[in-house]
A and B are shown apart, each in its own frame.
Chain A
Amino acid sequence: MLEQQLAQYLNLRLSASGPVQVTGVRRIPGGASRETWAFDATWEEGGRTLCRGFILRRDPPASVVVTERDVEFQVMDAAGRAGIPVPRVLWLEKDGQHLERPFFVMERIDGCETSPQALLTDPAYIRVHDRIARRFVEVLAAIHALDWQALGLQEVLGPPPSPEECALREIQKWEQVLEREALGPELVLRAALRWLRRHLPPPAQRIVLVHSDYRVGNFLFDAEGEIRGVLDWELAHLGDPMEDVAWACLRPWRWAGDERIGGIMAREEFYRLYQELTGLRIDPEAVRFWEVLGNVKLAVITITGARAIVQGRSREPVLAMIARGNSRLELEILELMGV
């Protein structure tokens, strides 16, 4: 069914001289916010037979985050044009005319991994840990150096906050989601939001494009240690670069079970390299603020998923699983708050 729908759709989008053949349609595990499908397409064009791999990102019936696919599409497009490694986005469909729900299609980058498990346990990747760690910081620095005005991102993401407003704006954003989605008392989260208001960080040193989910596990890497594609841009916004720095440091992404960032590098090294590349100064207290907010945000996202399950809008087991694990996030929040 999906195979036929995709073939019909690609017939409209590609300059094919005959019918497009779609094969190998398969759903990619993971990704709680959108359905991700991989497929291959073969078609005739200009007297040649072309075969390409594609990725379909389709809105699910229910999601853990309310995000705008248009934003993700346009930010990825802009970042790609500016030289950031991202899969090339191709077509955006804002209604369900073709595949029942809105979606976009992007190129598939083959020969890569995203899995932290592979990164930390496969000898092919263990040998390039240092290179991947360095690229991880370099790509983040490059994202934060993007000229978002020149790229037209202000039209996509809305007016930027002033440097003083960044933190408060993010607190308000996630507070509103919590108020809308909470299924019961959320003591730790509501107390943490108040703590955050009392511990606002210094104004942002620079307003940058914040990826908002930049971490080990959200990029494609190869066996040469190159980062080939940064993924999951759906929460991107303009704000304080320290938000991304702290998010990358969150405990849930410390995949090796120790203190190393993403399971691959010491925090001191991460800070040193980031500061060297960006010229920005990392204030550990500011990072602590953003780590508390990051954990709150993550917990709120899981609550959104829990509500979808409880209301019968989703049967995704991963949403139920993730939401049942909130207590460790709460423990981390309390630890960071020092209470």
Chain B
Amino acid sequence: MRPDERESILVVQGVLQDLAREVSTDYARSQASTCLLLLQSLLAEMDSAVHDLVQDVAALRRVLADARGALVSLPDDEASRLAADIASALEEAPPDDLRLSSLRPRRERLMGLLERFLCLCEDRQGTPDAEVLEPVRGAAYRLLRRMALRGWCFWDVGSFREALVRWRSAAQQEGQ
């Protein structure tokens, strides 16, 4: 259906831009600008939202499978309980319902388990268990970094600093 979601949001953004020019107070203009940026963040994430969630779920399942493998070699109750909870979550089939409202809770549940695993790893740094856990701990942090890299930052997009970096880069190229 046309206009699609992206095109429709662009229409709303255009209206907001027009309205922002009409309003007379700094506050109203600022609110309109912030709404424009909020819509921009939705635009940036919308197209790949399902793809990203499916990828996240798959990556989380892989890391958690390794985490379970490391946990079962530890002799204590906390590690055993977490290993059992992970095993239970991994028994769920990979997602076939691709609605955001279905994928998000799945990802949240896996993230919750990874959180427990990471907290356990951090609590056991400096103990003999750390050596067993370290490879998966490293993989978990690498996954979190990849996820975070996909995100964006209000302080960059909402401010002028990206423009400054571009200007500086352009000036340097001119200088060369």
Contact = CB atoms under 8 A, between A and B. Distances in A.
Interface residues of A, number: 41
A96 interface: no
B73 interface: no
A190 interface: yes
- Specify the main secondary structure of chain A where it touches its partner: helix
A257 B149 contact: no
Nearest to B166: A257
Given A120-B160, A190-B115, A330 B148 contact: yes
Contacts of B27: 26-29
Contacts of B160: 117, 120-121, 255
A194 B115 CA distance: 12
A190 B119 contact: yes
A328 B155 CA distance: 9
B31 A321 contact: no
A320 interface: yes
A256 B166 CA distance: 11
Interface stretch (A63-71, A76-84, A105-113, A181-189): A181-189
Given A321-B41, A325-B152, A339 B161 contact: no
A329 B144 CA distance: 12
B26 A321 contact: no
A53 to B, nearest CB: 15
Contacts of A188: 144, 148
Interface string B85-102: 000000000000000000
Contacts of A120: 160, 164
Nearest to A116: B159
Interface string A188-224: 1011001100100000000000000000000000000
Given A27-B27, A187-B114, A198-B122, A252 B41 contact: no
B123 A194 contact: yes
B151 A327 contact: yes
A328 B151 contact: yes
Contact of B111 (A187, A195, A339): A187
A211 B118 CA distance: 33
A321 B154 contact: yes
Contacts of B25: 26-27
With most chain A CB atoms within 10 A of its CB, the pick from B118, B138, B153 is: B153
Contact of A326 (B34, B112, B151): B151
A257 B38 contact: no
A30 interface: yes
Contacts, number: 125
B21 interface: no
A61 to B, nearest CB: 15
A195 B119 CA distance: 9
Nearest to B42: A324
A291 B156 CA distance: 19
Contact of B34 (A186, A321, A334): A321
A63 to B, nearest CB: 16
B158 to A, nearest CB: 6
A139 interface: no
B162 interface: yes
A330 B144 CA distance: 9
Interface string A165-181: 00000000000000000
Interface string A227-267: 00000000000000000000000001011111000010000
Interface in B107-159: 108, 111-112, 114-115, 118-119, 121-123, 125-126, 137-138, 141, 144-145, 147-159
Contacts of A263: 161
Contact of A29 (B26, B41, B138, B147): B26
Contacts of A286: none
A316 B154 CA distance: 14
Given A317-B35, A327-B153, A334-B144, A185 B115 contact: yes
Given A117-B160, A317-B34, A325-B41, 16 more contacts: A26-B26, A27-B27, A29-B27, A120-B164, A185-B114, A187-B111, A190-B118, A191-B122, A194-B119, A252-B153, A256-B164, A321-B41, A325-B154, A327-B149, A327-B151, A328-B153
Top 8 A-B residue pairs of the complex, sorted by shortest distance between their CB atoms? A327-B151, A29-B30, A328-B153, A194-B122, A325-B154, A27-B27, A257-B165, A257-B161
Interface of B: 25-27, 29-31, 34-35, 37-38, 41, 108, 111-112, 114-115, 118-119, 121-123, 125-126, 137-138, 141, 144-145, 147-162, 164-165, 168
25 contacts: A26-B25, A28-B26, A116-B159, A185-B108, A185-B115, A187-B111, A187-B114, A190-B119, A191-B118, A198-B122, A257-B165, A257-B168, A263-B161, A317-B35, A320-B38, A321-B38, A324-B41, A324-B152, A325-B153, A325-B157, A327-B148, A329-B153, A330-B144, A331-B145, A334-B141
